A = this chain, B = another copy of it.
């Protein structure tokens, strides 16, 4: 019951699945997604291949849903979280300021920032617990998946970018509060199209190097997790070689 585990919030067929597979090589993993279709077969795959995984249907923007998910995880895996990744991102309306409904506008924030806050609040005590464990191999690590819109806010993108800028602020504030406790907090600016089933038709006349490989993002996050307390990276950017930036 006292093994450290990892939590991935926002599991889908892209980055989330790659993160799950990567972290499952070293830890039991708990996979959160609103829709069980997003994790069911993945949980099976990991369990069959010698890893350990559970999936929990969770709405990260709901306090009670997150709280209940974390309770279930603690029951199953204990109270030492080695790594928690917030990878959730809702759909968003790409519209003029004049055409956005209030609900559409706040939708980005609800998931990207309020959800990230609720997730952090529940996981930070478990990350501290792990960090303080003498047997911990790597410091407890909290990683947030950001986007180009975390640092550049284009026309028609306000519903998305306001949530992403706010999430970056959250990440920096938590990083500064929890670094002295040995918890490693990092924010990743994913700048480019990720190569997932949903983006199959995008950039299809370009070579593969025009899109980001989800497994490579998972590799980068793992490398963040294994950093020592004497060399924390708090922000990285990730883009494919053919991205204009």
Contact = CB atoms under 8 A, between A and B. Distances in A.
A49 B238 CA distance: 35
Nearest to A151: B169
Interface string A47-75: 00000000000000001000000000000
A227 B113 CA distance: 29
A195 interface: yes
Interface in A15-49: none
Given A97-B124, A164-B169, A220 B227 contact: yes
A129 interface: no
Interface stretch (A4-12, A170-178, A197-205): A170-178
A211 interface: yes
A240 B179 CA distance: 9
Contacts of A117: 97, 100, 102, 105, 158, 162
A118 to B, nearest CB: 7
A134 interface: no
A176 B154 contact: yes
Q: How large is the interface on A (under 10, 10 to 19, 20 to 34, 35 or more residues)?
A: 35 or more
A106 interface: yes
Contacts of A113: 109, 162, 166
A144 interface: no
A117 B109 CA distance: 13
Interface in A118-164: 118, 120-121, 124-125, 139, 149, 152-158, 161-164
- Give how many copies assemble into the complex: 4
A230 B245 contact: no
Contacts of A154: 172-173, 176
Given A100-B121, A236-B235, A162 B156 contact: no
A122 to B, nearest CB: 10
A98 interface: yes
Contact of A170 (B162, B176, B195): B162
A97 B114 CA distance: 12
Contacts of A100: 117, 121
Contact of A233 (B162, B229, B238): B238
Contacts of A98: 121, 124-125
Given A105-B114, A114-B106, A227-B216, A232 B242 contact: no
